[in-house]
Amino acid sequence: MKKQVAVLPGDGIGQEVMNGALEVLRAIEDQYGHQFKVVQADIGGVAIDHHGTPLPKETLEACKRSDAALLGAVGGPKWNEVPVELRPEKGLLGIRKELGLFGNLRPVKTFEALVDASPLKPNVVEGVDFIIVRELTGGLYFGEPRERRGKNKEVAVDTLQYEKKEIENVVRKAFEIASGRRKKLTSVDKANVLESSRMWREVVDQMAPEYPDVEVEHLLVDAAAMKLIYQPKHFDVIVTENMFGDILSDEASMLTGSLGMLPSASLREDDFGLYEPVHGSAPDIAGKGQANPLGMILSVAMMLRHSFGMEEEADSVEAAVEAVLSSGARTGDLSGQEIGPVLKTKEMTDLVVEHLKPNHAISGILAAYL
Ligand code: IPM
Ligand code: MG
């Protein structure tokens, strides 16, 4: 199969983890005879430096011409002082909005080998496997007005607004995903306080009869935050609005041991998707080659599955990550549990790529003896 991928490394560790993603793509090409044409473009702070804007027209065009896009991370202290409309994060929010990517899938799955890396007890995190479906193009992030008011600008306003259609789009996606999994949908809101949440509940209840085999429950966001910690195995699919999803997904990442492990997909109705790790640009470790590339590499797996329909290829990437972790390989963020030395980004990537090769046990381990 021939596919074109827009590659937007962005800032900080974005470029470093993207190198890992590209190596994995090459390995999949070799292994399965596909051709992935890569088109690089700038986003975030690096785009501000090169083009004076965090989301250049060329970048959007590159995405529109491609079958999918991979994104590293945006932001960093270098751009803290730029005007708010020009902040690197605006590039990320802008690309999601401009491409209409309303459904953000954030799977949270603990790897057997990492149960000890979580700050929570192994019996709580073992076997956790759920997916957060976060609405991505509406709510507090985009509602108008958003401004400072008053003589001395002593009032600040943000607006949590949703149109019914926007909620329907993401809730339908969540129902579809739940139908293909353990058939349990938890809709998270704050309906005891917020009008938008009451409409959210209405939409979920109206759609539920179309999916009779999916069990639906409503949970208030504060209760959901608690339940994620004391009973994470309760969840299968969580659907929630933009800001709640942002917060809950960072919280949930700790179940897996590290934010560096989590991939994400931002989807719309057609096959196009934008794939990025949930973690940010990590300025504290940027440039040191220490970042965990697995969240980015698992995002590649999501791209293969959701945008290209390459199930087997996606499975093989996930299996390679699992095998590498089982062998004891750890980057610094997963530290404390290392069985061997703490690996750098490139070393971890090389191990995954090695596992993607046919007869990898022979090429990787026995080769030294042959
Ligand atoms: C995320 C990030 C972004 C968000 C930031 C960088 C704007 O935290 O993708 O979760 O809030 O959506
Ligand atoms: Mg976030």
Yes or no: say if 136 and 104 are a contact pair by the CB < 8 Å rule: yes
**Block residue for tokens 């991505």:** 136
Measured at the CA of 99, the angle between CA 250 and CA 63, to 5 degrees, comes to 100
Supply the pLDDT for residue 340.
66
Average pLDDT over residues 354-362: 79
pLDDT one-digit tens code per residue, 28-79: 999 999 999 999 999 999 999 999 999 999 999 999 999 999 999 999 999 9
Residue 361 has pLDDT above 70, yes or no: no
Tell me if residue 291 falls in helix, strand or coil: coil
**295 and 344: one domain?**
yes
CA of 246 to the centre of ligand 1 (A): 7
User: Which residues lie near ion ligand 2 (Cβ < 5 Å)?
Assistant: 246
Residue 363 has pLDDT above 70, yes or no: no
Residue 359 has pLDDT above 80, yes or no: no
Tell me if residue 289 falls in helix, strand or coil: coil
The answer to whether residue 93 sits within a structural domain is: yes
DSSP 337: S
The answer to whether residue 27 sits within a structural domain is: yes
229 φ, ψ (degrees, to nearest 5) = -90, -40
**Residue finishing a domain among 256, 284, 303:** 256
Residue 272 has pLDDT above 50, yes or no: yes
**Block residue for tokens 């090169």:** 50
Measured at the CA of 116, the angle between CA 113 and CA 121, to 5 degrees, comes to 130
**198 and 76: one domain?**
no
Cβ of 294: how many Cβ atoms within 10 Å?
A: 29
Q: How many domains does the chain have?
A: 2
CA distances to 95, 133, 239, 276 from 77, in Å: 21, 30, 32, 21
Query: Cis before residue 145, ω within 30 degrees of 0?
Result: yes
Burial 141-161 (b: 16+ CB within 10 A, else e): bbbeeeeeeeeeeeeeeeebe
pLDDT band of residue 358 (cuts 50, 70, 90) is confident
Residue 322 has pLDDT above 80, yes or no: yes
**Would you call 250 a catalytic residue per the annotation?**
yes
Query: Average pLDDT, whole number, for the chain?
Result: 94
Cα(143)–Cα(153) distance, rounded to whole angstroms?
19
Yes or no: say if 33 and 326 are a contact pair by the CB < 8 Å rule: no
**166 and 64: one domain?**
no
**241 and 276: one domain?**
no
Query: Catalytic one among 3, 90, 173, 190?
Result: 190
Which residues form the domain of 148? 119-256
Q: Which tokens hold the place of 276?
A: 């990025």
Which amino acid type is present at position 66?
S
* H-state helical runs in 154-287: 164-179, 195-207, 221-230, 242-253
**202 and 228: one domain?**
yes
**Block residue for tokens 């329907």:** 168
**6 and 94: one domain?**
yes
**Would you call 271 a catalytic residue per the annotation?**
no
CA of 245 to the centre of ligand 2 (A): 8
Average pLDDT over residues 207-218: 98
pLDDT one-digit tens code per residue, 275-316: 999 999 999 999 999 999 999 999 999 999 999 999 999 999
Furthest CA-CA distance within the chain: 78
**126 and 241: one domain?**
yes
Which of 92, 250, 259 is the pocket-test mutation for ligand 1 (most atoms within 8 Å of CB)?
A: 92
The answer to whether residue 107 sits within a structural domain is: no
Residue 366 has pLDDT above 80, yes or no: no
Closest CA to 264 of 250, 281, 282, 244: 250
Closest CA to 103 of 172, 7, 185: 172
Residue 170 has pLDDT above 80, yes or no: yes
The answer to whether residue 132 sits within a structural domain is: yes
The answer to whether residue 264 sits within a structural domain is: no
**Residue finishing a domain among 256, 289, 317:** 256
**249 and 277: one domain?**
no
Residue 368 has pLDDT above 50, yes or no: no
- Identify the residue whose C-alpha is closest to ligand 1 atom 11: 246
Q: Which tokens hold the place of 156?
A: 């600040």
Cβ of 9: how many Cβ atoms within 10 Å?
A: 26
Burial 317-333 (b: 16+ CB within 10 A, else e): bbebbbbbbeeebbbbb
**191 and 167: one domain?**
yes
The answer to whether residue 217 sits within a structural domain is: yes
**2 and 68: one domain?**
yes
Residue 12 sits in a domain of what CATH number? 3.40.718.10
**Residue finishing a domain among 233, 256, 279:** 256
Residues written for the chain: 370
Burial 72-83 (b: 16+ CB within 10 A, else e): bbbbbeebeeee
Cα(155)–Cα(173) distance, rounded to whole angstroms?
37
Indicate which ligand has the atom closest to the C-alpha of 93. 1
The answer to whether residue 92 sits within a structural domain is: yes
Yes or no: say if 225 and 187 are a contact pair by the CB < 8 Å rule: no
**318 and 252: one domain?**
no
**Would you call 141 a catalytic residue per the annotation?**
yes
Supply the pLDDT for residue 108.
97
Average pLDDT over residues 251-267: 93
Residue 365 has pLDDT above 70, yes or no: no
The answer to whether residue 45 sits within a structural domain is: yes
**325 and 249: one domain?**
no
